[in-house]
Structure 1
Amino acid sequence: MIRLVAGLLVAVVTLALPAVLDDSALAVYILLGLAAIVTVGVSLLMGYAGQVSLGQGAFYAIGAYTAALLALNGVPPLVGLVAAPLVAAVSALVIGTPLLRLRGHHLAFATLAMQLILLSLAGQLEITGGDIGLQAIPQFGVGSYEMGSAPAYAYMTWAGLALVMLVTHNVITSRPGRALRALATSETAAASSGIPVGRYKLVVFALSAAFAGLAGGIYCFYTGYVAPGSFPVLISIQYIVMAVVGGLGTIWGAVVGAAAITLLVQGLNSLAALPGMPTYAPSVLSYAVYALVLILVVLFLPNGLLPAVAGRLSRKRGSPPVETR
């Protein structure tokens, strides 16, 4: 009952906010939703499959460039939006086949290198617009309807997040989801139990990439512009911080973490824009705060914000811990 009431309350607030927020706050709200979409995939990949990826920003970029290139070449935007997660997933299958033979920090560094290579290629290829990027991307639309307002993109973003959360919930509550949890605990034990470890790792890697590709597709239509600078390496680190802060292996934890870090970053950007602050202040503050937040969470909230709050509320009521998935 509590979960139902909380879910309805979140849905009402989510639908009401685009109508009352001003333009700057609405932009943050949309970017928060896009970050949450990617972070849910990161939480699934790291929290359930135990695979560390520092390259989710690459799949975010693949989705954005896919949708942008198709739209600029006359393909209906809806087709481009559908193609964005599909191309990102296929790319993950191709890239993941050799990379997922690695483990731990080796896999993390390999996925980071993948994003660096992708950004380098995007900055040099003529088809992607080089360092200048792709501009004047058409607005998203279906048939004669064209989505030209920020509130419409907000609803679109959060509808995409709801879809991603539903898919993730269905995955983790299914038999393959239980196999993923076993895989995260011990790949050797999972393999000895008959679980096809390599195939499961590849599939969940592709699924998390598809989520990032969907977010990238929405992003390109919202901003009307994509370039290598839109997808810095820091963005992949940011997604991991969001997942860890909110609670790895939880769906709502990914949303909570995305909200906390996005609002924190906006506050730091406002601080860095104050008179007298050096030009490098935004990047320095971001890296410093990410490190500080990670240290504090690992020391005092090792399971993340949402599991910690849920556990404390359960102890106060004297009931079993609340399920936070």
Structure 2
Amino acid sequence: MTERTHPGTVPDRPARRRAGRGRRWALAGLALGTLALPPLLPERHLATFVLLLLAATVTVGVSLLMGYAGQVSLGQASFYAIGAYTAGLLAVHGVPPLVGLALAPLIAAAAAVLLGAPLLRLRGHHLAFATLAVQLILLSLLAQADWAGGAIGLQGIPRLSLFGVELREDLGYAYAAWFVLAVAVLIARNVIESRAGRGLRAAAASETAAAASGVAVGRYRLAVFALSAAFAGLAGGVYAFYLGYLAPGSFPVLLSIEYVVMAVVGGLGTIAGPLVGATVIILLVQVLNTLGTQPGMPDYAPSVLSYAVYALVLVICVLFLPRGLVPALRSRVGRVVRP
């Protein structure tokens, strides 16, 4: 007499493997599609495309930090600034741009380790406010530091050179930003599927139970905090060479909030979520900026509209899509496909 299996046990394993393969194929198709997109875009849209990819790179780290480590950071733009200033300052002082770009994520990760060791002892909104305070302190220091250009900003940053080829056009930076995002996605995917990723998921669900099972919760969370900072620092390095100019005003507090909104809208704890969230928010902000700069609109209209859309999108997601766009779409597609 054969034993009858319950639904959701053994028969679900092949289904999960097929779903995993489907997600990998979808991600590969998305990568190829975005790789072929830059030459087709008008010149005026390439800048938006570059900034979108850089924002998605930072948001991948935010999604890891919030979705897997269960930690909220409202100061991710500070590591973006650290990476940008690291690359910019080194390049201005004669260091090859590629070396500066390689050191940008390392310096950002080192800063995250130094800051995270005491800060990650905090929980919930205490940690969020502490990371916000770090960014405010950093912006104040940069505004007073003559060696970093002060409030005027760091000028004369050379163009990025890759293997002897200097990137001068937006198209070249579009591919550089695409490569940076691809590196972040691959690393994040490997972390999620590793033993450390399983430990982080367990810690996010129950820190006490995870610690009792032998998970080094504090060490894992510090590692993810440093990794998310490294992603931000790498994106910041590309940003510095792309603009050729840096100022404290380039990294406002609103930028950190923007990354959190992108991660929440796309779906925390997913790889595709940051990509979708960054695309939705960046395009929406561009539309609102265009609307806010129309004749007859006040000077403060773009800023007010940006704050309003962040609040509105968050409220809509919390009410109707609490898990984000990507998990909601997966759930709907699963119900349609399931026999």
Does the TM-score normalized on the shorter chain lie above 0.5? yes
Distance 1:227 1:20 in 2: 32
Give how far 1:5 is off. 4.4
Pick the aligned partner of 1:29 from 38, 49, 59. Answer: 49
- 2:251 — aligned with what? 231
| Percent identity of paired positions between Structure 1 and Structure 2 | 66
The alignment's TM-score, normalised by the length of structure 1, stands at 0.96
Is 1:147 equivalent to 2:147 in the alignment?
no
Give how far 1:143 is off. 4.7
Give how far 1:8 is off. 3.9
- 1:191 — aligned with what? 211
- 2:15 — aligned with what? none
Give how far 1:3 is off. 3.5
Give how far 1:23 is off. 2.0
- 1:116 — aligned with what? 136
Matches within 5 A, 1:74-93: 74-93=94-113
Distance 1:214 1:63 in 2: 6
Pick the aligned partner of 1:65 from 85, 99, 105. Answer: 85
Quick check: 2:56–2:278 contact (8 Å CA) kept in 1? Answer: yes
Pick the aligned partner of 1:272 from 287, 292, 295. Answer: 292
Distance 2:314 2:199 in 1: 28
The alignment's TM-score, normalised by the length of structure 2, stands at 0.92
Q: CA 1:182–1:8 in structure 2 vs 1: closer, same or farther (change >3 Å)?
A: closer
Is 1:302 equivalent to 2:322 in the alignment?
yes
Give how far 1:193 is off. 1.4
Partner of 2:74, secondary structure, is coil
Question: What letter corresponds to residue 137 of structure 2 in structure 1?
Answer: I
Question: What letter corresponds to residue 275 of structure 1 in structure 2?
Answer: P
Is 1:205 equivalent to 2:230 in the alignment?
no
Partner of 1:159, secondary structure, is helix
Matches within 5 A, 1:29-48: 29-48=49-68
- 1:259 — aligned with what? 279
Unmatched tracts of structure 1, length 5 or more:
320-325
Question: What letter corresponds to residue 262 of structure 2 in structure 1?
Answer: M
Partner of 2:143, secondary structure, is helix
Q: Deviations 1:106-162 (Å, cap 9, x if unpaired)?
A: 000000000000000000001110011111210000353211111111001011101
- 1:242 — aligned with what? 262
Distance 1:203 1:255 in 2: 22
Q: Deviations 1:232-273 (Å, cap 9, x if unpaired)?
A: 000000000000000000011110000000000001100100
Question: What letter corresponds to residue 42 of structure 2 in structure 1?
Answer: D
Distance 1:149 1:197 in 2: 45
Q: Deviations 1:146-196 (Å, cap 9, x if unpaired)?
A: 111111110010111011000000001000000000111121221111111
Of stretches 18-27 and 107-116 in structure 1, the one that deviates more from structure 2 is: 18-27
Partner of 1:103, secondary structure, is coil
Distance 2:23 2:209 in 1: 34
Distance 2:164 2:322 in 1: 50
Quick check: 2:27–2:272 contact (8 Å CA) kept in 1? Answer: no
Question: What letter corresponds to residue 199 of structure 2 in structure 1?
Answer: A
Distance 1:190 1:74 in 2: 48
Question: What letter corresponds to residue 208 of structure 2 in structure 1?
Answer: T
Partner of 1:40, secondary structure, is helix
Distance 2:143 2:52 in 1: 26
Question: What letter corresponds to residue 254 of structure 1 in structure 2?
Answer: P
- 2:6 — aligned with what? none
Is 1:11 equivalent to 2:31 in the alignment?
yes
Pick the aligned partner of 2:331 from 296, 303, 311. Answer: 311
Q: Deviations 1:189-246 (Å, cap 9, x if unpaired)?
A: 2111111111111111000000000000000001111110100000000000000000
Unmatched tracts of structure 2, length 5 or more:
1-20
Give how far 1:9 is off. 2.9
